[in-house]
Structure 1
Amino acid sequence: MERPHDAYEAMSMREIIEQMDAERLSSADPTRRGPRKGDIVEGTITSIDRDGILIDIGTKIEGDVAASELAALLGGENPPKIGESVLAYVLTGENPEGRVLLSLQRGQEERAWRRMEISAREGTILNVPVTEINRGGLVVMAEGIRGFVPVSQIASVRAGGAEESIEERLKPLIGQRIAVKVVEVQPRRGRLVLSERLASAELRAARRSEILATLNEGETRRGKVTSLTDFGAFVDVGGADGLVHLSEMSWQRVGKPSDVVSVGDEVDVVILGIDRERQKISLSMRRAQPEPWTLAAQMHAPGDIVTGTISRLTAFGAFAQLDDGIEGLIHISEMTEERINNPRQAVTEGERRRMRILRIEPERRRLGLSLRGVPPDDQDAPSIGGYVGGNGTTIGELLGNWTMPPLDDESSGSR
């Protein structure tokens, strides 16, 4: 009786292999479907050498990684390792020997897209490098995938002048890493859109509670102006924004926040209040500076000629703000040598004038001023003794007897 293997003795090696493959395929499960071109398969790297990379994908013979990818894979930042679980893209299905040709690079790309989809669902924050800019925004690399951050979703773009293009403002971001969240992911279209604003807002919210716990009312902090509104400025004090109300921006009267600060300015602020439940912080810029009235007696004395700006007019006179920030009253009787019925007959709001200090009361925050007898800038002021009021009295007599007219709080001249 002929032995089973005797049938192979007269066959060439190639014929033997083909015969064995045929027998293997005929005895295999007819429902079995091998890897086909375009499939994404999971596997484990079993061998890495100069000849190639082998991956066990569950077939009888390990799959081969395309030779064209070896240099990039082995010379990259994160080269593959034996025992590592990977995804691979099937370039060609099983050949007669049962071997499959794989692309590990396209498999890595597929894994990255899957991670982007998970990140979009879970709302995780990614840290990605900026590789390019254009007028529409930033191009970033997220796990090997090119992603786009539109200008409207960029939080770290600096303020620029009217002549400066958006590209010039974005250029400093090239090479930097930014925190982003995935807002749209479409693998088939190769579309990945991200937002730095959403990530920044979430990170700030997470840090805000921690920052609030470290702040104490009354302490002075260094901060950066982040935005301006009609009613004040918001200042970042280490990860949490607080509001400096318009009335707390300066000891001087402020018309609008932009008269005092610009976005990006670093300023000292005093913490006025902390509402931890509502996570709100009230700040003051002016209280971080010496109050002008505390230095007024050292800087000014009755009889001094000073320069100030007419800040507002009233029925009984005009208020003038000196260059050091204190505000005083020019009574209507001290505006001109002649009698007038309306301050507008002598001065206008915003006008710069030289004036004489009649009386200064720092403890009451009152300053009496006079325009009478004060020469223009190009003339020398008369001596104190040479100043004669409308009733024939000298300034010395006037200062000895003069008292501030009775005023209510609004017209007290205090600031």
Structure 2
Amino acid sequence: MGELLDSMAPIKPVRRGDVVEGVVMRADADGIFVNIGQKAEGHVPPTEMRTLNEDELAELDVGVSVLTMVVRPETADQPAILSVDRAVGEQGWRYLEKALDNGEVIIGAITGFNRGGSIVEVEGVQGFVPMSQLVSVSRDHFRMYQDGEGEVDPEIDAARKEAQGEDIGKSLQMKVLEVNRGRNRAIFSERQAVQEMRDEQKARLIEELTEGEIRMGKVTGISSFGAFVDLGGADGLIHISELSWSLVNSPDEVVKVGDELDVYVLRVDAENKKIALSLRRLQPEPWETIHERHAVGDIVQATITKLTNFGAFARVEDSVEGLVHISELSTRMITHPREVVKEGEEVQVKILRIEPDRRRLGLSLKQAAEEANFQV
């Protein structure tokens, strides 16, 4: 009964400009004939399907679905005239609306530039990528396009054309920010798509990483507190304290942007998606090999780093410090180390004890002076 009622429902005629989906009934040199439903047929002449390439034309077999736009409605004597070319734009708008709803990444090609960004084409629809949302086009190139408009200097004009040659036609992966068919407006973001892909890569990498393993990376950035290293889709941080066992004042003393190096995976924080790396852990800790460089009884150069009531701390290497007890500072009686030394002062000390396991070094300023026949 339902089918009978449906068949009795009034047929809504197609009108000029309607976009209809039909099924190919026949394809030959005269074009294709399409069943557009409601007992109506349409004809797509060859001149209305020029946007199809050879492979797409070959796929137009009987039974294949095709989207068309009505150029002339059906008459009593003639079938409707349809256009695949004119429907391509509408199909593109539908594609963009679907991509926006589903948050999908789309692919488009750069066709030109204006003062605000890049013009791109996606599925036959022209859209816009603001400069702030572009990643693949350098700001130097974009500035050249802006400043070069109407430029008469041959050299500058040639440089602008060369840059355009690199950028025009470039394929971009993007997210759809806005689609307004009525205003013929489509806004895209390459930056958002790139960030999303990097987030996915980072999530996968974090799952794969194991604390304690060694990975190859590339330095991508340097800040006052450390260096960022790309491990292949995700950046990890080498804190300045993990760059070297020696004292580092600035990360660029150790690494430069672009350096490729092995790094030690120190910590992986899956919840916060953070990766802590180390460079110094790939080298032996100075305390572990101190016996290779120093022995009890050696006289060494040291720098006073800190004064306390019970003595003075002195650095004999960048990361190895020892204590000169107050009783080992002078042969005379003193009440505070400041009577003999000050912070930052360079002195000679004698090594009395080496305790690598406890990270302790016993030093004597007094005995070093006695051996040098110098009374402090």
Q: What's 2:33 paired with?
A: 54
- Does 2:70 correspond to 1:90? yes
Aligned residues: 328
Residue 113 of structure 1 aligns to a residue whose secondary structure is: helix
CA offset at residue 221 of structure 1? Answer: 1.1
Stretch of structure 1 that moved more, 230-239 or 126-135: 126-135
Matching residue of 1:103: 83
| Alignment-derived partner of residue 280 in structure 1 | 274
Does structure 2 retain, via aligned residues, the 8 Å contact 1:119–1:125?
yes
RMSD of aligned alpha carbons: 4.9
- Aligned partners of 2:144 and 2:287: how far apart in 1? 43
Q: Partner of 1:86: helix, strand, or coil?
A: strand
- Contact between 1:157 and 1:169, CA under 8 Å: does it hold in 2? no
Is 2:126 the counterpart of 1:146?
Answer: yes
In structure 2, C-alpha distance between the alignment counterparts of 1:225 and 1:169, rounded to whole Å: 27
Aligned to 1:113: 93
**Are 2:64 and 1:81 aligned?**
no
**Following TM superposition, by how much is the alpha carbon of 1:247 offset from its aligned partner in structure 2, in angstroms?**
1.6
Aligned: 1:41 with 2:20: yes
Distance 1:212 1:105, change over 3 A: same
Pair 1:67–1:213, CA change in 2 (3 A): closer
Unpaired segments of 5 or more residues in structure 2?
1-7, 147-159, 330-338
- Equivalent residues in 2 for 1:303-322, closer than 5 Å: none
Per-residue deviation, 1:110: 0.9
C-alpha separation in 2, matches of 1:54 and 1:72:
17
- Deviation readout 1:277-303 (Å, 9 max, x if unpaired): 444332212213444566676678968
Contact 1:60 1:98 in 2 (8 A): no
Report the residue type matching 1:99 in the other structure. Answer: P
- 1:189 is paired with a residue whose SS is coil
Q: Quote how far apart the aligned CAs of 1:109 are.
A: 1.9
Name 2:195's counterpart in structure 1: 201
Matches within 5 A, 1:157-196: 177-196=171-190
TM-score by length of 2: 0.65
Is the 2:68–2:82 contact (alpha carbons within 8 Å) kept by the matching residues of 1?
yes
Q: Compute the TM-score of the two structures, normalised by the length of structure 1.
A: 0.60
For 2:196, the aligned partner's letter is E
Secondary structure, aligned partner of 1:244: strand
Higher mean C-alpha displacement, 278-287 vs 117-126: 278-287
More strand by share: 2
- Deviation of 1:55 after TM superposition, in Å, equals 2.0
Report what 2:43 is aligned to: 64
Cα offsets for 1:227-248 (capped at 9, x unmatched): 5555334433333433322321
CA shift in 2, pair 1:231/1:69, >3 Å: same
Q: Which moved more, 1:260-269 or 1:194-203?
A: 260-269
Q: 1:253 to 1:192 in 2, by over 3 A?
A: farther
Structure 2 equivalent of residue 211 of structure 1: 205
Q: Which segments of 5 or more consecutive residues in structure 1 lack a partner in the other structure?
A: 1-28, 334-338, 348-354, 371-388, 403-415
What is the alpha-carbon distance in structure 2 between the residues aligned to residue 205 and residue 34 of structure 1? 50
Larger CA deviation: 69-78 vs 50-59: 69-78
SS at match of 1:41: strand
Equivalent position to 2:245, from 247, 251, 267: 251
Query: 1:219 deviation in Å?
Result: 0.8
Q: Find the aligned partners of 2:116 and 2:58 in 1 and give their Cα distance.
A: 34
Aligned to 2:333: none
Instruction: State the structure with more CA Rg.
Output: 1
Question: Residue 256 and residue 139 in structure 1: after superposition, are their counterparts in 2 closer, same or farther (change >3 A)?
Answer: farther
Shift of 1:194: 1.8
State the distance in 2 between where 1:313 and 1:252 align. 15
